Amino acid sequence: MGPWGQPGWSGQCRDGTGGMGGVGAGPAYWEGKERDEIGTGMGWAWVPVGDRCWCAADGLAQGRLLALGGCGLLLASALAAGDERLYAAAVMPALRALPPEAAHGLALRAAALGLLPPTRPDGPALEVRVLGQRFRNPLGLAAGFDKQCEAVDGLFKMGFGFVEVGTVTPKPQEGNPRPRVFRLAQDEAVINRYGFNSHGHAAVERRLRARQETQIRLTGAGMPLGVNLGKNKSSTDAAADYVAGVRTLGPLADYLVVNVSSPNTPGLRDLQGKAELRDLLSKVLVERDLLPCERKPAVLVKIAPDLTAQDKQDIASVVCELGVDGLIVSNTTVSRPSSLRSRQRMEPGGLSGKPLRELSTQIIREMYALTQGRVPIIGVGGVSNGQDALEKIRAGASLVQLYTALVYHGPPVVGTVKRELEELLREQGFKNVMEAVGADHRC
């Protein structure tokens, strides 16, 4: 997607160039050199931006453009002040007045511009050593927020201990038609069916190389970078797509994620089958070991929460047999709990946020037991406070990630989760995070 979350143009520019209606996008879209766009969901708004231009296609679009401008001012003010109350009272409601994908684009642009408040230093109790790396704290940003690797440095300034970009596919692809993301505000959840919208390996590689020295310093300071790999929708050789990702992006990452669990790419979850997974991971690991870099990236597999008991046993068996470095548990769910109240709860796609919390924690607990605690786990799904994070850690996660919580609470949630986690560790008698990993299995 473009920098503001919606591709395609309509109308006529001041320079006489025609719009590109629909969802088609040429090289200018992929490189972002000639036009920026704000999708309103009901029309398009274009205004001058330096030597670029945006055209107003309808009144509703212009109104939403003004709303977006107001959101931007609020966002900048709150970021500069680091005011959690301003976020809760004004910024987040204003962002939620925008279409979800446009709000996502605005938040990403703010992060890319570094419009972020200072974060307090992490205490030593939060440090984790796992996957051959030091993490300054166990809280990471899950894949899906910065799909195209456009805002990594700003995201680290928010206080994350690690950032995972992607999912990245070999060739550029637009993903599924819009609308494809829906807020379930009453449930603090999101349903998405993005479908791996990606700028492709080449574009992401250029961005990673441009900041390679910066990332080396960040990794040394306890802020590793992960890259989430996927396959193109049209691909007939999934393994070749993942191997290409390892070859191209592996030298620039601290860890790689083999994403075989998104529900939004047809046939992808079939790769979680025992024979298919063994074949895929064998090829990925061989390619990783052949990388010319001195320090090879760890390889993790991201799995779905919608697995049978046999599926989980098979995955654990393959991961232990091949020596895969870790698991990410879990992706979004295609299930729809009866507790959901929001009007859009039955939209197709993957459900994330609070309704996924207990399910993902249970899968963490099971995978930790099935692998006898020998395979590090990154826990993700419904984390929005310190208690959520600690539950996943006690169940067996060495690290945790969040994403949907940002939609409802904004950047201050990062500091809140860390602060509450540190307090809970102390209250429960743990000296540090690593002492608490898998504690429920020792009771």
Residue 268 CB neighbours (<10 A): 21
pLDDT (tens digit per residue) in 207-218: 999 999 999 999
Q: Which pLDDT does position 265 carry in this prediction?
A: 85
- In this structure, what token pair is assigned to residue 443? 């009771």
Residue 204 CB neighbours (<10 A): 24
| Residuewise pLDDT in 10s, the chain (443 residues) | 333 333 333 333 333 333 333 333 333 333 333 333 333 333 333 333 333 333 434 444 455 544 555 555 555 555 545 566 777 777 778 888 899 999 999 889 989 998 876 688 999 999 999 999 999 999 999 999 999 999 999 999 999 999 999 999 999 999 999 999 999 999 999 999 999 999 999 999 999 999 999 999 999 999 999 999 999 999 999 999 999 999 999 999 999 999 999 887 888 888 899 999 999 999 999 999 999 999 999 999 999 999 999 999 999 999 999 999 999 999 999 999 999 999 999 999 999 999 999 999 999 999 999 999 999 999 999 999 999 999 999 999 999 999 999 999 989 999 999 999 999 999 999 999 999 999 999 97
DSSP string computed for 261-312: --TTSTTGGGGGSHHHHHHHHHHHHHHHHH-SSSSPPEEEEEE-S---HHHH
Contact 252, 227 (CB under 8 A): yes
Q: Which pLDDT does position 91 carry in this prediction?
A: 75
Q: Which pLDDT does position 96 carry in this prediction?
A: 80
Residues 6+ apart with CB under 8 A from 99: 5, 39, 40, 41, 64, 179
- Angstrom distance (rounded) from CA 8 to CA 108: 19
Known catalytic membership, residue 282? no
Q: Which pLDDT does position 94 carry in this prediction?
A: 80
Q: Which pLDDT does position 45 carry in this prediction?
A: 34
* Choice among 262, 352, 384, 398 that is catalytic: 262
